[in-house]
Amino acid sequence: MEVLGIAVDDGSLGAMSRELHLRIQALEAEMYELSGHTFNVGSPQQLQRLLYDDLGLAAGRRIKTGRSTDADTLEALREEHPIVDLILEWRQLTKLKGTYVDALPLLRERDGRVHTTFNQTVATTGRLSSADPNLQNVPLRSEWGQRVRSAFVPDRGQVLVSADYSQIELRVVAHVSGEPELIDAFRSGQDIHRRTAAAVGGVAPEEVTAEMRRSAKVVNFGVMYGLSDFGLARDTGMSREEAGAFIAAYFQSFGAIAAYLEGIRNFAREWGYVETVFGRRRYIPDIRAANRQLRQAAERMAVNMPMQGTAADIMKLGMIRTDQALRESGMAARLLLQVHDELVLEAPREEVEPLAALLREAMGGAAELVVPLDVDVKVGDNWRDMTPLSPSAG
């Protein structure tokens, strides 16, 4: 389904392209100086030879074609040689330049907008996907990424409004597992990661340190993917032993979640599929594979699908309700994009307050879980600078 599209400011992208070009050239010059010869940084093959043969750095993860040079691997080598940081920055900048800064202006149509295509039959979990161009992976996290995002703008006289489901997958976990701690935390509007850290660490919420909260956050998300002690250790800096103990304490505190995950794996083994709260199925053929690696990967898919898929179902219902409510309201606001747990709209400035209320009602009422669905609404003049609208102030 091709959609209305969103305006992009090709002037600012053009300026960004020239800035990036200069920085990338400077990085290349520095790298050639450090290595003593020219090479193609964009070639994983040449990069492997440079890092692991010429410079003698210790290779990490093995891949089909040799030794990995991905960001995680390079991150671990940063202290070993000054060229590593340059490679990481070069990678980031060329990625942004090639995929967004230079590509988007070419896809801009005569209305000044880029129009993506949403696929409804690609993702096995029930999510939408977005292609040509993919507008569900517009940069956000890095400085340069934020500049790219700021080039997405509303049409003249209007504003962008975004509405996202707060912690929707964790709320789905609370619903399907019936975990009392999690349900209570969402019902009383507490900081969910702090509450988790307090429960796991056996302290009061006020005593939770920033580090404890960070670890709890990683585990809260990781639970939905089948995180291992290895993965937690890598993402938090804990030792593998500490990570294992942390995960054990987590499942001790949230026994209903542990039981739910076990139940899903058993269901998948027995029936060969799993399903969302609304009955969307995903078949998991490898769930009984003899090969352990295949089987464990299948188990992670089985555990993840009901959570990711139920959230996707709720969003689809929320989109239908939003569309209906917009028609009935007679507002000029238009839906532009869906980014998994977020809707982006364009609206005349004077519609912002009533639109926010409409979105909270339409999206928030899309499903009745055992915990409330909270919707955060923001407004702005570009997709980076978005200001929260408080529910009561509306």
Partner DNA sequence: TCTGTCACG
Partner DNA sequence: ACGTACGTGACAGAC
Q: Taking CB under 7 A as the rule, does residue 145 contact DNA?
A: yes
Using the minimum distance from each CB to DNA, give the nearer residue, 74 or 153.
Answer: 74
Q: Taking CB under 7 A as the rule, does residue 235 contact DNA?
A: yes
Q: Taking CB under 7 A as the rule, does residue 283 contact DNA?
A: no
* Interface of this chain with DNA, residues 207 to 226, rule: CB under 7 A: 218, 221-222, 225-226
* Interface of this chain with DNA, residues 147 to 206, rule: CB under 7 A: none
Residue from 137, 209, 329, 387 that binds DNA (CB under 7 A)?
137
Using the minimum distance from each CB to DNA, give the nearer residue, 303 or 351.
Answer: 303
Residue from 37, 65, 79, 204 that binds DNA (CB under 7 A)?
65
CB of 98 to DNA, least distance (A): 4
Q: Taking CB under 7 A as the rule, does residue 40 contact DNA?
A: yes
Residue from 210, 292, 328, 330 that binds DNA (CB under 7 A)?
292
Q: Taking CB under 7 A as the rule, does residue 392 contact DNA?
A: no
Residue from 33, 53, 54, 70 that binds DNA (CB under 7 A)?
70
Residue from 9, 179, 313, 342 that binds DNA (CB under 7 A)?
342
* Interface of this chain with DNA, residues 74 to 103, rule: CB under 7 A: 74, 88, 91-92, 94-96, 98-99, 103
Q: Taking CB under 7 A as the rule, does residue 297 contact DNA?
A: yes
Using the minimum distance from each CB to DNA, give the nearer residue, 29 or 203.
Answer: 29
Measured CA to CA, the distance from residue 281 to residue 306 in angstroms comes to 9
Q: Taking CB under 7 A as the rule, does residue 121 contact DNA?
A: no
Measured CA to CA, the distance from residue 125 to residue 191 in angstroms comes to 28
Total binding residues toward DNA, as defined by CB under 7 A? 70
**In this chain, which stretch among 59-67, 182-190, 200-208, 385-393 interacts with DNA, using CB under 7 A?**
59-67
**In this chain, which stretch among 120-128, 188-196, 263-271, 386-394 interacts with DNA, using CB under 7 A?**
120-128
SS (H, E, C) the chain: CECCCEEECHHHHHHHHHHHHHHHHHHHHHHHHHHCCCCCCCCHHHHHHHHHHHCCCCCCCEECCEECCCHHHHHHHCCCCCHHHHHHHHHHHHHHHHHHHCHHHHHCCCCCEECCEEECCCCCCCCCEEECCCCCCCCCCCHHHHHHHCCEECCCCEEEEEEEECCHHHHHHHHHHCCHHHHHHHHCCCCHHHHHHHHHHCCCHHHCCHHHHHHHHHHHHHHCCCCCHHHHHHHHCCCHHHHHHHHHHHHHHCHHHHHHHHHHHHHHHHHCEEECCCCCEEECHHHHCCCHHHHHHHHHHHHHHHHHHHHHHHHHHHHHHHHHHHHHHCCCCEEEEECCCEEEEEEEHHHHHHHHHHHHHHHHCCCCCCCCCCEEEEEECCCCCEEEECCCCC
Measured CA to CA, the distance from residue 148 to residue 282 in angstroms comes to 36
CB of 140 to DNA, least distance (A): 4
Contact residues for DNA, defined by CB under 7 A: 40, 42-46, 61, 63-65, 68-74, 88, 91-92, 94-96, 98-99, 103, 119, 122-125, 127, 129-134, 136-142, 145, 218, 221-222, 225-231, 235, 292-293, 296-297, 300-301, 304-305, 308, 339-342
